Amino acid sequence: MLRENNESYHGEDITRLLIGLAFEAFNSVGAGFAEKIYQNIYQELLSKNNINFEREKYCDLIVFDKKVGKYRVDFLIDERVVVELKCRNEIYPKDIAQVINYLKVNKLRLGLIFKFGKTGVEIKRLVS
């Protein structure tokens, strides 16, 4: 979508594409499957659409030149968009915090959380 002043928001094109693929993944099997099933379908759709991605991307958290922890994200798209898939009743604050922290650690700006539920896909778009 374009804003009224015809300026697009950050990551508009890739966001639209990734959201469309999330709905396509859900519609291909419907509700009630495990998170891994939706991840596998989403991965197939990313590959089919020639989208550069890494699945289950790990990153070290470095503080004062010491590794203090690790983060893992479901998908890193084109080295710039974090995508997390969830299968539950709602998107929890800890899910949002997880993506925001991953964005900060990796100096990225855009994250998407897709919740696959009983009635469809809920989307949370995060910009740091």
| pLDDT for residue 109 | 93
- pLDDT averaged over consecutive 10-residue blocks of the chain (128 residues)? 42 90 98 96 98 91 85 92 94 94 89 96 94
CB 58 within 8 Å of CB 70: yes
| pLDDT for residue 105 | 83
All domains in the chain, ordered by first residue: 12-127 (3.90.320.10)
Instruction: Give this prediction's pTM.
Output: 0.87
HSE-up of residue 82 (Cα within 13 Å, Cβ side): 30
Cα separation, 84 vs 75, whole angstroms: 7
| pLDDT for residue 1 | 33
